[in-house]
Chains A and B, each alone.
Chain A
Amino acid sequence: MFRNQYDTDVTTWSPAGRLFQVEYAMEAVKQGSAAIGLRSKTHAVLACVNKANSELSSHQRKIFKVDDHIGVAIAGLTADGRVLSRYMRSECINYGYTYEAPLPVGRLVVQLADKAQVCTQRSWKRPYGVGLLVAGLDESGAHLYYNCPSGNYFEYQAFAIGSRSQAAKTYLERKFESFPGSSRDDLIKDALFAIRETLQGEKLTSSVCTVAVVGVGEAFNILDQATVQALINEFEISGEEAPATASVAEEGAGDAAADQGGAAAEEEVAPMDI
């Protein structure tokens, strides 16, 4: 009821103690196409759904390499994400110049969070409308962080943001306990399964998603389309379903069988995200 009175600028509190402009910025994140991240002790994987405005245009880039040991996936206002990626790259380069060592991920996300916080406390600014999943490696292993427009950041074992991310989160919640010990390839497979959850019946192909990995002995790199498609084919052909503990997999449409010749990919109907 009172929302509209107190949401004009970011420096106005509501009577309930909320900053609505910041909350609206977080809504922008939910509107972006899905991005998911997960990690084991030694590797971190980022994956995202590619959205193109039309068949004629190219996909928006949502995963950025920040340094050899850090990468970021974004959801929301991609322009804001691009600018923040540039800031992160700059910070990594400057730290490397001064200390001849890679910038620890934990430090970078704090700097990023502080930068976001500034925009929640200046009347002439607006919050960044982008959520960032920061995957990185440091001396203590692989890490995954989520930075949101409010200036908060959290560390996660696995997380999903963007539209229909709840479906992916449900899948990840079921499987996350096995992630710390997962191998690199299993981690990527789980990422692809999670992405498939957000597609809600749409066919999962490498043209619809992007996958990136960083790990011990492996610099951050975005997997090429052929590699991703091969991995998708692997589990589609074997008819592997997203391993479920309680839910029952339903037989999906037979369109997958038409090109693979194998068992049709089973899809689970997951609850819609808000």
Chain B
Amino acid sequence: MTSASSSSARSLFAESKQRLAERVQVNMNNISSLARQIQRGSKSNELLTKAARDIASTENQMENSEENLKKMQLISVHIGYQFENIQKSAQLLTEIGEQVTAMQR
């Protein structure tokens, strides 16, 4: 007989529980809409996404810059070598000038 009384008693609070749940649901929906309004009202999301997208678009340029810089480093080394060559050649030039004057005597 417990089953009979318990089944009748189980349906006792069902309606009030449902109503309570509805109230809670309404409150929750209100709070969430309030939060969404706060977020959308200040256009923080849009501003920040725009700025982030701008920076993301500069990624390609940053890669190019890095590549150029590396090449420039190599070129600087080459230029250093060439400068040494030129310096030695310049010294030779002076020696040659002296030799020529010696020969002319």
User: Do A and B interact with each other, yes or no?
Assistant: no
| Residues of B in contact with A (beta carbons under 8 Å apart) | none
